[in-house]
Amino acid sequence: LFLDRSDAVELPIKFIPQNAGCYHCWILLKSSCDVRVYEIECVVNTDRAEAELEFVTPAYQPVIQDIPVNNMSRQEWKLEAILEGHGFYGPPLITVGLGETALYPLMFKPVAEC
C-alpha cells in the first residue's frame, strides 16, 4: 500500500488533559460512500520529576522506604524494578491495579559504614 500525499487529509486534534492518565477517543468519519471509525488512545504522564531519598541507619541495620506508585490509567500495570547500587533490595515485580496506588518497598541494608 502506497500513500499519495495528494490524497492525504489533515485532521488536526486539540487535546487538553486535566490530569495524567489514559484517555480514549473514537473519531467517526462519514461520507456518502464510506464510514470509518478511528480509535485513539492518549497516555498522559506528569512532568518528570526527580526525587532523592536519603537513608540513615546504623551499619548492618536495614531501613525500608515505601515508594508510592499511582496508576491513574484504565488498565492494570505490571512493573519490573531494576535496582542498581550495593545494598538496595526490593521485589523484582509489582502489580498496580487500575486507579490504585501500590507501595514499592525499597530496602537499603548497608554492610559497612558509608
First-to-last alpha carbon distance for the chain, in angstroms, is: 62
Q: What pLDDT is stored for residue 3 in this prediction?
A: 59
| 108 burial via Cβ count (<10 Å: 0-12, 13-18, 19+) | buried
Residue-level length of the chain: 114
- Convert the pLDDT of each residue in 71-113 to its tens digit: 877 788 899 998 888 889 999 999 999 889 999 999 998 887 7
User: Is 96 a domain residue?
Assistant: yes
Q: What pLDDT is stored for residue 113 in this prediction?
A: 74
In which domain, by residue range, is 96 found?
63-108
User: Is 99 a domain residue?
Assistant: yes
Q: What pLDDT is stored for residue 18 in this prediction?
A: 81
User: Is 22 a domain residue?
Assistant: no
How far, in Å, CA of 64 to CA of 88, rounded? 10
Among 43, 112, 99, 41, residue whose Cα is nearest residue 70: 99
User: Is 68 a domain residue?
Assistant: yes
Which tops the pLDDT comparison, 4 or 23? 23
User: Is 80 a domain residue?
Assistant: yes
Q: What pLDDT is stored for residue 5 in this prediction?
A: 64
0.85 surpassed by pTM: no
User: Is 46 a domain residue?
Assistant: no
| pLDDT above 90 coverage of the chain, percent | 25
The count of domains in the chain is 1
| pLDDT above 70 coverage of the chain, percent | 89
Residue 1 has pLDDT above 60, yes or no: no
User: Is 36 a domain residue?
Assistant: no
The mean pLDDT of the chain is 84
User: Is 30 a domain residue?
Assistant: no
